[in-house]
Structure 1
Amino acid sequence: MWAKDGTGDGHCLSLVRKFDFDRYLSLLYTGGAARDGLSALYAFNMEIARAREIVSDPMPGEIRFQWWRDTLEAPAGADVDQHPVAGAIRQTIAANSLPLAPFVNLIDARVFDLYDDPMPTLGDLEGYAGETSSVLIQLAAMILCQGRDPGTAEAAGHAGVAYAITGLLRALPWHARRRQLYLPGDLLDAHGVDREQVFAGKTTPALKAAVADLVAIARRHLDELRQRIGDLPREAIPAFLPVCLTEPLLSRIEKRGEDPLNTVVDLSPLSKHWILWRSWHRARKGCRSSIA
C-alpha cells in the first residue's frame, strides 16, 4: 500500500485504481507528495467523470457538480475537507498554488455528459477534450513540478485531445446503447451517417468512414505532440505516460473496423504495464517521443 487505509490519500488511490487504471499505472513512476497530489487530482476527475453513472437523471448531476464548484471555493478548514477526495484535492491545490479556473472549467465541460445532446462539430469535440483531458495532463505536470509552470501547455493540449478521442472511440458501443453520441455532427453529416442506425447498433460503411477520420485526427494530434515533447521537463514525464497507450489502442480500433459498435477494444493489464515501463525508461534517457 502507498497510503494507509482510511486516509484521504488511500481512498483516492483506491478510486483511481478501480476506475482509471491507466492513470493508476502512471503513478508507479512517481513518489511522495507528487504521487499523493496526482492521486487526488485523478480521483477528483473520476468523481466528476462518473457522474452520469452515479445519478439517475441530469438534475442530481447538476446539483452534484454545483457542490463540487462550491467545495473548490470554500475557505480553508471548511467541513468539506472531511470528504476524502474533496479534502485531498483542496490540499493539493493549496500546496501547489494551482489555479481554480481549470477545475471549474472541467466541471462545466462535463455537464455535457449528463445529457444526450449531440456533439455539434469537431471543434466542439476538441474543445471538450481540451477542457477535460488536456487540462488534467497540464495540472498533473504542474503538480510534478511543485506548482511551477512546466511550459507544457501546448504538448498537453494535443496529448489530451488524442487521448480523449481514443477513449471515446473505445466507448462508442457503450455510449450508443444509451443514445449518447460524442462523434461530431459535422463529421457524421459529411459521411451521411444515420444516427438512429448507430443507436440501434448497426454498423454501416458511412460510420466506419467517420470512425476512420477520427482515428486520423487523433493521430494528427499525436504527431503535433511529438514535435513538442522533446522539451518536456524530466519530472513532468509521468503526467504524459498514459498517452503512450493511445497509438496501440488506435491500431486496435482500426483492426476492429468491421464492427466498431459491437467490439470492445482494450489492452491487457500486462501489456499496459510493459508499454508504460518501456516508455518511461526511454523518456528518462531522452527519447521523449516514446511517450507518443
Structure 2
Amino acid sequence: MPDTIPPQALSPLGAFARAHDPDRFLCALFAPAERREALFTLIAYNHELARAREAARTPMIALIRLQWWRDAVEEAATGKPPRRHEVAGPLHAAITANLLDPAGLQAMADAREAEAEEEGIPTEAAFAAYCRASAGGFAVTAGRLLGATGPVLAALQEAGAAYGLAGILRSTAALASQGRCLLPADALAAAGLTAEEVIADPATATPVIATLAGSGLRQAQALRARPPRRAIAAALPLVLARRDLRRLARGQTVPPTRGLGDRLAVTLAGLLGRT
C-alpha cells in the first residue's frame, strides 16, 4: 500500500505520482517492475493535463497549457531535445524508449479541451465521450505500455471511463470551489438546475450525481476487463470506480482520502490478477 512505502524507496516520479494521484499510484504498484517508472511518468503527465484548467485564470490559458504538452510530446516523437521540466524530461525519455505511445498521449491532451469550453459539457453523450477520451485514454495508453492489445484495449478504455466518471462525480464540490462544473448541462436542466447553481451550492446536484452514478455503476458492473496478468495495473482503477459509484448512487459522498477497505480491494484484485 502506498502509505507503507518509505519516501526514499521511490524515484522522483514515483513520489510525484503518489502525492498527486494516489489511486493510480497504488494500481501502478502491480505493474511489472521494468514498466513501473514509465507508468509513474504517464500518471504525472495525466496530472499535468488535468491541472491545465485548474491552474489557468482563463480557458484560453488552459488551451495554451495543453498545447505546450502536445508540443512536448511531438518534439520527443520527432527526436528533438527534451524540455526542461520535472515531468517533460521523463516523458521525453519514455517516448524515445518506445514505452509510451505519442498518439495516445496527444489524444489525452485533446480530450482535456472539453474542460476549457466556456459553456461546459452540453450533453450526457458528450460527457461520456469526454470520460472515454480522458480517463479512458489514460487506461488505453497504460495498457499499451503493459503489453495489452486488441479487444483488451477497448475494455480498458471503458474501465478507465468508469473511473473518470466516478472521479468527476465525487469531485463536484471541489470543482465548484474553483468555479467549475463538469456535469452535463442536459442532465442538470432535467433536474431544473444550471451549472451556476451547482457552483453556488454543490449539494443541489446530489440527485443528478446519484442518477449518473447509478447508470455508470450498471455499466461498470457489467464490464469484465480481463487484461493479461502483466497489464492488470491498467484495469485496477475499475475496482475503485465500482466502489465509488455505488456510494454516489446512494447519495453518499466519497471521502477525499482512501480508507482501508478501498485499498484492500485494489490490493486483492491486483494479487489475484482480476477485476
TM-score normalised to structure 2 length: 0.86
Secondary structure class of the residue paired with 2:11: helix
Equivalent pair of 1:249/1:266 in contact (CA under 8 Å): no
Q: CA deviation at 1:266?
A: 4.0
CA deviations on 1:175-203 (whole Å, 9 max, x unpaired) are 22333221112222223224443222164
1:133 equivalent in structure 2: 135
Secondary structure class of the residue paired with 1:61: helix
CA 1:170–1:116: 2 relative to 1, 3 Å: farther
2:236 equivalent in structure 1: 241
CA 1:90–1:156: 2 relative to 1, 3 Å: same
- For residues 87 and 219 of structure 2, the distance between their equivalents in structure 1, rounded to whole angstroms, comes to 32
Equivalent pair of 1:118/1:184 in contact (CA under 8 Å): yes
Equivalent pair of 1:161/1:218 in contact (CA under 8 Å): no
CA 1:155–1:124: 2 relative to 1, 3 Å: same
What is the aligned counterpart of 2:219 among 215, 218, 221? 221
CA 1:265–1:253: 2 relative to 1, 3 Å: farther
Equivalent pair of 1:121/1:186 in contact (CA under 8 Å): yes
CA 1:194–1:151: 2 relative to 1, 3 Å: closer
- For residues 221 and 260 of structure 2, the distance between their equivalents in structure 1, rounded to whole angstroms, comes to 26
TM-score normalised to structure 1 length: 0.81
Equivalent pair of 1:34/1:143 in contact (CA under 8 Å): yes
Q: CA deviation at 1:150?
A: 5.3
- For residues 99 and 187 of structure 2, the distance between their equivalents in structure 1, rounded to whole angstroms, comes to 40
- For residues 119 and 49 of structure 1, the distance between their equivalents in structure 2, rounded to whole angstroms, comes to 16
1:159 equivalent in structure 2: 159
Structure 1 residue 38 corresponds to structure 2 residue 33: no
CA 1:202–1:38: 2 relative to 1, 3 Å: closer
Q: CA deviation at 1:37?
A: 1.1
CA 1:187–1:83: 2 relative to 1, 3 Å: same
CA 1:79–1:96: 2 relative to 1, 3 Å: closer
Structure 1 residue 251 corresponds to structure 2 residue 246: yes
CA RMSD of aligned residues (A): 2.6
Which runs of no fewer than 5 residues in structure 2 stay unpaired?
Answer: none
Equivalent pair of 1:215/1:250 in contact (CA under 8 Å): yes
Q: CA deviation at 1:267?
A: 5.2
Equivalent pair of 1:26/1:238 in contact (CA under 8 Å): yes
Q: What amino acid does structure 2 have at the position aligned with 1:184?
A: P
- For residues 174 and 13 of structure 1, the distance between their equivalents in structure 2, rounded to whole angstroms, comes to 25
CA 1:40–1:3: 2 relative to 1, 3 Å: farther
What is the aligned counterpart of 1:76 among 74, 79, 84? 79
Q: CA deviation at 1:245?
A: 1.0
1:260 equivalent in structure 2: none
Q: CA deviation at 1:264?
A: 5.5
Q: CA deviation at 1:76?
A: 2.2
- For residues 272 and 174 of structure 2, the distance between their equivalents in structure 1, rounded to whole angstroms, comes to 35
Which runs of no fewer than 5 residues in structure 1 stay unpaired?
Answer: 258-262
Identity %: 30
Equivalent pair of 2:27/2:266 in contact (CA under 8 Å): yes
